[in-house]
């Protein structure tokens, strides 16, 4: 079902400082910040030869990233994102196997303009998983 690793998301307490660190210290190609109000985050993508790093920063009072940073003030890995060919079929298969889909259970449009779903970390060894349709 899952395809390639699309990105690893890291919640950061200072978006500008984190972007500068990847750009200046590591020499990475750093994208522009983009607000994702439906997800309560501002993101910056770091382009790597084989995948991406997504820097996450809270957007708005009810951001789930703020809750994560409250528990982890220095930041940390928030989730991994895998590509799937058909997000509807993936959702149906996962639900049939007992996995929980976060939110209302329906795909939302993610930062790449494609449908995404998040899977409950308690169902996947403590790891929050995002699936993105390609």
Helix (H) or strand (E) holding 108: strand 108-109
Q: What is the DSSP letter of 24?
A: I
CATH code, domain carrying 100: 3.10.180.10
107 vs 114: CA distance, rounded Å: 9
Within 8 A by CB and 6+ apart from 1, the residues are 84, 90, 93
pTM for the full predicted model = 0.94
- 130 is an active site residue: yes
Q: Which of 54, 61, 130, 132 is catalytic?
A: 130
Residue 2 banded pLDDT, cuts 50, 70, 90: very high
Confidence of residue 61 (pLDDT cuts 50, 70, 90): confident
Contact 117, 89 (CB under 8 A): no
Structural domain including 62 reads: 2-133
79-98 mean pLDDT: 97
Domains identified in the chain, total number: 1
Question: d(Cα 62, Cα 39) in Å, to the nearest integer?
Answer: 10
């Amino acid at each position: 079902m899952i395809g390639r690793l699309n990105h690893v998301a890291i919640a950061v307490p200072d978006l500008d400082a984190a972007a500068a660190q990847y750009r200046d210290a590591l020499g990475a190609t750093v994208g522009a910040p983009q607000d994702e109000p439906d997800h309560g985050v501002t993101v910056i993508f770091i382009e790597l030869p084989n995948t991406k790093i997504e820097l996450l920063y809270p957007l708005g009072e009810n951001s789930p990233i703020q809750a994560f940073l409250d528990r982890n003030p220095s930041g940390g890995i928030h989730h991994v994102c895998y590509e799937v060919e058909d997000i509807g079929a993936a959702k149906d298969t996962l639900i049939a196997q007992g996995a929980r889909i976060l939110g209302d259970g329906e795909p939302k449009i993610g930062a790449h303009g494609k449908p995404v779903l998040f899977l409950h970390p308690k169902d996947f060894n403590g790891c929050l998983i995002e699936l993105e349709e390609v």
